[in-house]
Structure 1
Protein backbone atom coordinates (compact mmCIF):
# COMPACT_ATOMS: atom_id res chain seq x y z
CA UNK A 1 0.00 0.00 0.00
CA UNK A 2 2.83 2.42 0.72
CA UNK A 3 4.32 1.85 -2.68
CA UNK A 4 1.20 2.80 -4.65
CA UNK A 5 1.37 6.61 -4.02
CA UNK A 6 5.01 6.55 -5.10
CA UNK A 7 4.20 4.65 -8.28
CA UNK A 8 1.27 6.96 -9.00
CA UNK A 9 3.47 10.05 -8.68
CA UNK A 10 6.15 8.41 -10.81
CA UNK A 11 3.56 7.68 -13.49
CA UNK A 12 2.43 11.33 -13.43
CA UNK A 13 6.00 12.52 -13.94
CA UNK A 14 6.30 10.19 -16.91
CA UNK A 15 3.31 11.92 -18.52
CA UNK A 16 4.81 15.40 -18.20
CA UNK A 17 5.53 17.52 -21.25
CA UNK A 18 8.86 19.23 -21.64
CA UNK A 19 8.36 22.49 -23.57
CA UNK A 20 12.05 23.33 -23.51
CA UNK A 21 12.87 20.13 -25.38
CA UNK A 22 10.02 20.65 -27.82
CA UNK A 23 11.25 24.18 -28.57
CA UNK A 24 14.77 22.90 -29.27
CA UNK A 25 13.64 20.64 -32.12
CA UNK A 26 14.44 21.68 -35.64
CA UNK A 27 11.34 22.24 -37.78
CA UNK A 28 10.58 19.22 -39.95
CA UNK A 29 12.47 16.75 -37.77
CA UNK A 30 9.32 14.65 -37.30
CA UNK A 31 9.28 13.78 -41.01
CA UNK A 32 13.04 13.41 -41.49
CA UNK A 33 14.38 9.91 -42.26
CA UNK A 34 16.51 8.11 -39.72
CA UNK A 35 20.26 8.37 -40.32
CA UNK A 36 21.96 5.42 -41.96
CA UNK A 37 23.68 2.98 -39.62
CA UNK A 38 27.33 2.39 -40.51
CA UNK A 39 29.64 -0.42 -39.43
CA UNK A 40 32.05 0.60 -36.71
CA UNK A 41 35.08 -0.59 -38.69
CA UNK A 42 34.40 1.90 -41.47
CA UNK A 43 34.22 4.73 -38.93
CA UNK A 44 37.41 3.89 -37.00
CA UNK A 45 39.55 2.53 -39.84
CA UNK A 46 40.63 5.86 -41.29
CA UNK A 47 43.74 7.89 -40.65
CA UNK A 48 43.97 9.58 -37.25
CA UNK A 49 43.36 13.33 -37.50
CA UNK A 50 46.30 15.59 -36.76
CA UNK A 51 46.19 19.01 -35.17
CA UNK A 52 47.32 21.89 -37.33
CA UNK A 53 49.16 24.95 -35.99
CA UNK A 54 45.97 27.00 -36.48
CA UNK A 55 43.99 24.52 -34.39
CA UNK A 56 46.68 24.59 -31.71
CA UNK A 57 46.55 28.39 -31.49
CA UNK A 58 42.77 28.31 -31.15
CA UNK A 59 42.90 25.65 -28.45
CA UNK A 60 45.63 27.46 -26.54
CA UNK A 61 43.52 30.62 -26.62
CA UNK A 62 40.55 28.72 -25.20
CA UNK A 63 42.78 27.17 -22.52
CA UNK A 64 44.03 30.60 -21.49
CA UNK A 65 40.46 31.91 -21.30
CA UNK A 66 39.34 28.93 -19.19
CA UNK A 67 42.31 29.30 -16.84
CA UNK A 68 41.54 33.01 -16.39
CA UNK A 69 37.92 32.17 -15.67
CA UNK A 70 38.96 29.54 -13.14
CA UNK A 71 41.26 32.05 -11.44
CA UNK A 72 38.37 34.51 -11.10
CA UNK A 73 36.24 31.79 -9.52
CA UNK A 74 38.87 31.13 -6.84
CA UNK A 75 38.05 34.30 -4.91
CA UNK A 76 35.51 34.56 -2.11
CA UNK A 77 31.91 34.07 -3.13
CA UNK A 78 30.56 36.64 -0.68
CA UNK A 79 32.30 40.06 -0.63
CA UNK A 80 34.03 41.04 2.63
CA UNK A 81 31.56 43.84 3.47
CA UNK A 82 28.59 41.52 3.05
CA UNK A 83 30.37 38.80 5.06
CA UNK A 84 30.88 41.23 7.98
CA UNK A 85 27.20 42.19 7.89
CA UNK A 86 26.20 38.52 7.82
CA UNK A 87 28.49 37.75 10.76
CA UNK A 88 26.57 40.28 12.88
CA UNK A 89 23.50 38.06 12.63
CA UNK A 90 19.82 38.89 12.46
CA UNK A 91 18.22 41.27 14.93
CA UNK A 92 14.87 39.86 16.04
CA UNK A 93 12.13 42.48 16.28
CA UNK A 94 10.71 40.88 19.44
Structure 2
Protein backbone atom coordinates (compact mmCIF):
# COMPACT_ATOMS: atom_id res chain seq x y z
CA UNK A 1 0.00 0.00 0.00
CA UNK A 2 2.79 2.41 0.92
CA UNK A 3 4.59 2.07 -2.47
CA UNK A 4 1.32 2.80 -4.25
CA UNK A 5 0.81 6.02 -2.28
CA UNK A 6 4.38 7.12 -2.98
CA UNK A 7 3.99 6.34 -6.68
CA UNK A 8 0.75 8.34 -6.86
CA UNK A 9 2.37 11.30 -5.13
CA UNK A 10 5.29 11.21 -7.57
CA UNK A 11 2.96 11.02 -10.55
CA UNK A 12 0.82 13.95 -9.42
CA UNK A 13 3.84 16.19 -8.89
CA UNK A 14 5.14 15.31 -12.35
CA UNK A 15 2.05 16.94 -13.85
CA UNK A 16 2.61 20.29 -12.14
CA UNK A 17 2.80 23.30 -14.45
CA UNK A 18 5.84 25.47 -13.77
CA UNK A 19 5.79 29.17 -14.59
CA UNK A 20 7.77 30.31 -17.58
CA UNK A 21 10.51 32.12 -15.70
CA UNK A 22 12.62 32.70 -18.79
CA UNK A 23 9.76 34.67 -20.34
CA UNK A 24 9.99 37.27 -17.54
CA UNK A 25 13.51 38.32 -18.58
CA UNK A 26 14.08 40.75 -21.41
CA UNK A 27 16.58 40.00 -24.17
CA UNK A 28 19.14 42.51 -22.87
CA UNK A 29 19.25 40.67 -19.54
CA UNK A 30 19.61 37.29 -21.25
CA UNK A 31 22.44 38.61 -23.43
CA UNK A 32 24.28 40.36 -20.59
CA UNK A 33 27.62 38.87 -19.53
CA UNK A 34 28.13 37.42 -16.08
CA UNK A 35 29.44 39.96 -13.58
CA UNK A 36 33.15 39.88 -12.82
CA UNK A 37 34.27 38.54 -9.45
CA UNK A 38 36.49 41.15 -7.85
CA UNK A 39 38.58 41.09 -4.67
CA UNK A 40 36.99 42.67 -1.63
CA UNK A 41 40.01 44.82 -0.68
CA UNK A 42 39.68 47.42 -3.46
CA UNK A 43 35.94 47.69 -2.85
CA UNK A 44 36.53 48.40 0.84
CA UNK A 45 39.20 50.97 -0.04
CA UNK A 46 36.77 52.68 -2.41
CA UNK A 47 34.06 52.66 0.28
CA UNK A 48 36.47 54.20 2.80
CA UNK A 49 37.49 56.95 0.38
CA UNK A 50 33.83 57.70 -0.36
CA UNK A 51 33.10 57.91 3.36
CA UNK A 52 36.04 60.24 4.00
CA UNK A 53 35.10 62.50 1.10
CA UNK A 54 31.52 62.84 2.37
CA UNK A 55 29.91 60.95 -0.51
CA UNK A 56 28.37 58.45 1.91
CA UNK A 57 26.06 59.46 4.75
CA UNK A 58 26.63 58.42 8.36
CA UNK A 59 23.34 56.50 8.34
CA UNK A 60 24.45 54.51 5.29
CA UNK A 61 27.79 53.71 6.94
CA UNK A 62 26.04 52.55 10.10
CA UNK A 63 23.75 50.37 8.03
CA UNK A 64 26.73 48.89 6.18
CA UNK A 65 28.59 48.25 9.44
CA UNK A 66 25.63 46.44 11.01
CA UNK A 67 25.12 44.34 7.90
CA UNK A 68 28.82 43.53 7.79
CA UNK A 69 28.70 42.43 11.44
CA UNK A 70 25.71 40.17 10.73
CA UNK A 71 27.41 38.63 7.70
CA UNK A 72 30.61 38.01 9.66
CA UNK A 73 28.65 36.39 12.49
CA UNK A 74 26.84 34.17 9.99
CA UNK A 75 30.16 33.22 8.37
CA UNK A 76 31.58 32.30 11.77
CA UNK A 77 28.58 30.06 12.48
CA UNK A 78 29.05 28.33 9.12
CA UNK A 79 32.73 27.61 9.81
CA UNK A 80 31.93 24.95 12.40
CA UNK A 81 31.51 21.27 11.68
CA UNK A 82 28.46 20.34 9.65
CA UNK A 83 27.80 17.16 11.61
CA UNK A 84 28.16 17.39 15.39
CA UNK A 85 30.36 14.95 17.33
CA UNK A 86 27.49 12.83 18.74
CA UNK A 87 25.83 12.39 15.35
CA UNK A 88 29.17 11.58 13.71
CA UNK A 89 29.78 8.83 16.28
CA UNK A 90 26.30 7.41 15.70
CA UNK A 91 26.87 7.44 11.95
CA UNK A 92 30.22 5.69 12.39
CA UNK A 93 28.48 2.83 14.22
CA UNK A 94 26.42 2.23 11.09
CA UNK A 95 22.97 0.74 10.64
CA UNK A 96 21.83 -2.29 12.60
CA UNK A 97 20.24 -4.36 9.83
CA UNK A 98 18.81 -6.87 12.36
CA UNK A 99 16.76 -4.12 14.01
CA UNK A 100 15.10 -3.28 10.68
CA UNK A 101 13.73 -6.77 10.12
Sort the TM-score into its range (normalised by shorter chain): 0.3 to 0.5
Q: TM-score, normalised by structure 2?
A: 0.44
Higher helix share: 2
Q: For the pair shown, which has the larger CA radius of gyration, 1 or 2?
A: 1
Q: TM-score, normalised by structure 1?
A: 0.47
